Amino acid sequence: MARALANNPSILLCDEATSALDPETTRSILELLKDLSHKLNLTIVLITHSMDVIRTICDEVSVIEAGQIVEQGPVAEVFLHPEHSTTKKLLSESGVDSEAWKLLQDSFKGRVLRITYKGNDAAKPVIARIGTKLQIELNILQGTVGTIGELSFGQLVVSVDCDDQKYATLQQFLRDENVDFEELA
């Protein structure tokens, strides 16, 4: 790495820089890369299959399949709202975005929503308030909390069985609370 930095490049290409490393060494390499990026105003192009590495250090991500970019954007946006099947598969295999809730699909009725909280909104008691204020019961099918870079997030997959009027009220409530949601089924 020192040799690569000797000529003061503006871009550093790191191809699988942390593959086959133990977790502690991986963390220290990622901290070093992040520090170098900030101190040297260095753009780092990081090639990896590790979604944890991307989540930890990257600002932007491009997902490539068969030599074509199939999805790209800010890491938080792509990870929390994956669009392409390749992205979904990579995230699912890494445990970042599993669709295990589908195993329960025959056990509940109604709509299935993915609800995403970001930043300071991640600590709001939105689910509790939906039950008490709107009198709508949500069944939590799956959930995760974590960080992507410096961004805290929470993501739940819930089922809701209510009439169209209550569902419209729920949607407006989520918008008002600055909570992203998408209907999955």
DSSP 19-51: TT--HHHHHHHHHHHHHHHHHTT-EEEEE-S-H
Scanning 40-183, the segments in alpha helix (DSSP H) are 51-57, 75-80, 85-93, 126-133, 164-176
Report d(CA 30, CA 22) in Å as an integer: 12
What is residue 32's predicted lDDT score, i.e. its pLDDT?
92
Question: Region 29-58: what's the mean pLDDT?
Answer: 91
Write down the pLDDT at residue 113.
Answer: 92
Give yes or no for a contact between 155 and 80, defined as CB atoms under 8 angstroms apart. Answer: yes
As assigned by CATH, the class of the 1-94 domain is alpha beta
Phi, psi of 79 (to 5 degrees): -70, -40
User: Over the stretch 125-169, which tens digit does the pLDDT of each residue have?
Assistant: 889 999 999 999 999 888 888 888 888 888 889 999 999 999 999
Q: What is the pLDDT of residues 59-118, one digit of tens each?
A: 999 999 999 999 999 999 999 888 898 988 888 766 555 677 777 777 888 899 999 988
Amino acid 42: pLDDT: 93
Contact 77, 46 (CB under 8 A): no
What pTM was computed for the model?
Answer: 0.73
pLDDT score recorded for residue 175:
95
Q: Are both 1-94 and 100-183 of the same fold? A: no
**Residue 33 predicted with pLDDT over 90:** yes
Q: Is the pLDDT of residue 171 over 90?
A: yes
Q: How is domain 100-183 classified at the CATH fold level?
A: Alpha-Beta Plaits (3.30.70)
* pLDDT over 60 at 9, yes or no: yes
What was the pLDDT predicted at 4? 87
Domain boundaries of the chain, sorted by first residue: 1-94, 100-183
